[in-house]
């Protein structure tokens, strides 16, 4: 820790440095083991009889040294001293090209380089096969720890479990139908909260008729207009719909809802359905696209309907893919924190892995651009 000296050469320490050393001693003694959560900043400030600014500086110093990590909504978590695990090689297993995982991999790779750890990737096949499993066995044997995409975990968990090495699972949701072994960590996006962030943004702009355009479920179809009882949707649309409907209910505007399922490209019956409701008297004034590449289809259909974005129709996406600023107008979106997920995954591997299961949800953030505006805005 940095320090200064007086004229006699005696080391002088600031109060926050003394506190940081004390908290560090708690961690070193095992009082707060890796993956445990420290008391709140307010509680610690009271314990040390200092103001919150001094306490924040002390914790910030430990964060800079890699001992602690702050997580919004969770608190300050003990990561452990840098180099806590003996890792020379980390292997990522999963998709590489998909936007979510591409950003996770790039961030984890940068973090590994900074820590002097070799980082390798092994892309999973579309279907499991014996040849790929043989390749996995060779790669896995030489790796000291693993970052695994949640969707790939079911085809690798037997191999990884037998090696008993640290694993961090990344993705939208934990692997379904499997019990993760003790010591496995999950770093996950919060897609439901991302939808809530998008919805809250539109509601703050005065929109009340908001369409949810979702692109992951099958078959394609549309359901627009006033709600008439509960509907059964396939996953993950059912989860997204729950977040969407919950925000409408919270704001007292649940008398109108619109959901369009764009599993395939926006064409045929889906295009006709969207065009029909965009031309209806009670048409939506805003659209949430999950994921945001569906916005390209919404832009095209809005143009056919003679609607301007954002003057007549606001559009916002989820995931903040790199081409969002390239659309005209630039697409507002919600970033789900892929880069932070990659950095956290590496931090957890390089620190001491939890003895029990650790799960962290990364908070999304709004990236406001030109495709959203107050309802009824004119040029």
Q: What pTM does this model have?
A: 0.72
pLDDT at residue 80 in the model:
57
pLDDT at residue 355 in the model:
63
The bridge status of strand 332-335 relative to strand 314-318 is parallel
pLDDT in tens, 134-176: 889 888 988 989 999 999 999 999 999 888 889 999 999 999 8
Contact yes or no for 312/286 (Cβ under 8 A): no
Averaged pLDDT, 212-219: 62
pLDDT at residue 315 in the model:
97
Angle at which helices 268-278 and 295-304 cross, to 10°: 60
Separation CA 347–CA 358 (nearest Å): 13
DSSP H or E stretch at residue 122: strand 118-122
Residues 6+ apart with CB under 8 A from 33: 27, 78, 352, 355
Say which range, 143-147, 267-271, 302-306, has the weakest mean pLDDT: 267-271
Long-range contacts of 20-23 (CB under 8 A, 24+ apart): 20/58, 20/59, 20/61, 20/62, 22/48, 23/58, 23/59, 23/62
pLDDT in tens, 309-360: 999 999 999 999 988 999 999 999 999 999 999 999 998 888 766 666 788 9
Separation CA 172–CA 101 (nearest Å): 10
As a whole number, the mean pLDDT across the chain is 82
What residue has token string 């009889």? Answer: 49
Higher pLDDT, 116 or 366: 366
Half-sphere exposure (CA, 13 Å, Cβ side) for 370? 10
pLDDT band at 82 (very low <50, low <70, confident <90, very high): very low
């Amino acid at each position: 820790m940095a320090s200064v000296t007086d004229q006699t050469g005696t080391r002088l320490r600031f109060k926050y440095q003394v506190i940081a050393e004390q908290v560090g001693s708690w961690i070193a003694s095992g009082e707060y083991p890796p993956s445990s959560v420290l008391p709140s900043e307010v509680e610690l400030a009271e314990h040390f009889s200092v103001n919150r600014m001094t306490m924040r500086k002390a914790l910030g110093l430990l964060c800079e040294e890699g001992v602690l990590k702050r997580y919004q909504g969770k608190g300050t978590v003990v990561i452990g001293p840098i180099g806590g695990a003996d890792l020379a090689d980390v292997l990522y297993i999963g998709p590489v090209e998909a936007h979510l995982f591409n950003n996770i991999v790039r961030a984890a790779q940068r973090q590994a380089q900074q820590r002097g750890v070799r980082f390798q990737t092994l892309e999973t096949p579309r279907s499991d096969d014996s040849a790929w499993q043989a390749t996995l066995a060779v790669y896995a044997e030489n790796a000291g720890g693993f970052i695994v995409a949640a969707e790939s975990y079911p085809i690798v968990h037997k191999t990884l479990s037998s090696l008993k090495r640290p694993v961090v699972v990344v993705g939208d949701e934990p692997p379904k139908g499997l019990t993760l072994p003790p010591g496995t960590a999950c770093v996950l996006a919060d897609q439901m909260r991302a939808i809530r962030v998008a919805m809250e943004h539109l509601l703050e702009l005065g929109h009340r008729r908001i369409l949810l355009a979702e692109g992951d479920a099958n078959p394609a179809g549309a359901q627009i207009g006033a709600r008439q009882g509960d509907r059964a949707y396939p996953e993950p649309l059912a989860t997204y719909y729950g977040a969407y409907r919950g925000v409408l209910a919270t704001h007292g505007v649940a008398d109108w809802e619109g959901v369009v399922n764009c599993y395939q490209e926006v064409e045929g019956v889906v295009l006709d359905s969207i065009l029909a409701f965009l031309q209806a008297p009670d048409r939506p004034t805003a659209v949430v696209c999950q994921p945001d590449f569906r916005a390209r289809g919404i832009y095209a259909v809005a143009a056919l309907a003679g609607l301007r974005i954002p003057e007549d129709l606001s559009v916002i996406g989820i995931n903040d893919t790199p081409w969002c600023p390239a659309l005209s107008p630039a697409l507002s979106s919600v970033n789900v924190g892929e880069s932070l997920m990659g950095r956290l995954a590496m931090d957890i591997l390089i620190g001491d892995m939890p003895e029990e299961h650790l799960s962290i949800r990364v908070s999304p953030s709004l990236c406001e651009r030109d495709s959203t505006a107050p309802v009824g805005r004119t040029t």
